[in-house]
Structure 1
């Protein structure tokens, strides 16, 4: 007999994806019944998902409402420090442990991403996949778990630095250096290339935010 039970949809994952994709941006209010209707689930899993996201500081209270949290300058700097160290470690371990097939996948990703340079949203999604592939190539499950938490917090950034003119092409050059170091089995070079890549992204974001600050 065929099981016709409907597939349970993960409300937490769907809300998190919506934040990550910019459907809900920092400051946006999340309403339980509206989310339930949007994602086609009951209100109970939505309520539980919202509580979980609040516990993880991805949502914050604004009176009685829950809104998507935002990162101030200090939080942003702290996040990039942690991200640099953890991503650098992932690249170092990938240089030691990545299989030849994993390196080929990374190379293919970089080659294909050149075709996405005119589409910042697509390039941003591809960039996340590229970094995730490096995490997995580290072959360290505990590091992957910690990096998942860091990238969850990255979803709170209102925009991607890859949308800033010239940054996309520069990022792909940096990706090529990272892959070359991993392929060469040079852990120190892989760490340095990845750390420089994150530093350049942070610097680009800071300059853009400063230039577009309405208070200045």
Structure 2
């Protein structure tokens, strides 16, 4: 029984991670047998993992098949509204509760990530780690859980806003502003800086989508 539970958990996180890093993109069809062979697990935990991902709206039905879900314009806008509010709250709480060690880690992350501005996929992964560190520094488990779901849903966007020309450098500067506000224990400034950061990312993504529509 414990082994089955472990396999189910492993299968779920294996598929989720593959979606998160872009191995499976919006519209890709997921087949139980292929996934079982790919990840080296039986089909039962894969089936249960797919069902769980479907209930979380990360997968959707296409006839009898399951495909990686995609977000339309309205869904994306709704997601960014929620993300902005939750991320802003996390930054405010981090300014109140973060330990000096956590602030040190945030600063070191930003400094290290400066080397990734010309590598959008790597910078995107680092960006997620940075935001997750702020979530943890909020010291609010319920907020962390909600933000985890938001960030999983962000994986349904086929591209990262950090791929836009010059966005990497701007995002890094915004990250530094956020960290300094947290370090100064300025809850209002930290929340505002992170919400501004999300707003700029949203504008960038809207421009990317407009350019994509023009090319198609």
TM-score, normalised to structure 2, is 0.95
Moved over 2 A (4+): none
Specify which structure has the higher proportion of helix. 2
Could you report, residue by residue, the CA deviation over 1:135-182 in whole angstroms, capped at 9, with x for unpaired residues? 000000010011011111111010101111100100000000000000
Aligned to 2:102: 102
Q: CA deviation at 1:60?
A: 0.5
Could you report, residue by residue, the CA deviation over 1:171-203 in whole angstroms, capped at 9, with x for unpaired residues? 000000000000000000000000000000000
Aligned to 1:12: 12
Aligned to 2:71: 71
Aligned to 1:187: 187
Aligned to 1:119: 119
| Unmatched runs of 5 consecutive residues or more in structure 2 | 1-5
Secondary structure of 1:79 counterpart: helix
Aligned to 2:136: 136
Aligned to 1:83: 83
**Distance in structure 1 (CA, Å) of the matches to 2:64 and 2:208:** 33
Aligned to 1:22: 22
Q: CA deviation at 1:215?
A: 7.5
Q: CA deviation at 1:211?
A: 1.4
Aligned to 1:40: 40
**Distance in structure 2 (CA, Å) of the matches to 1:212 and 1:53:** 28
Q: CA deviation at 1:214?
A: 4.3
**Distance in structure 1 (CA, Å) of the matches to 2:91 and 2:215:** 39
| Root mean square deviation, CA, Å | 1.2
**Distance in structure 1 (CA, Å) of the matches to 2:76 and 2:145:** 20
Secondary structure of 1:92 counterpart: helix
Could you report, residue by residue, the CA deviation over 1:12-43 in whole angstroms, capped at 9, with x for unpaired residues? 10101101111000000000000000001100
Q: What is the count of residue pairs matched by the alignment?
A: 210
Aligned to 1:201: 201
Establish whether residue 178 from structure 1 lines up as the match of residue 184 from structure 2.
no
| Unmatched runs of 5 consecutive residues or more in structure 1 | 1-6
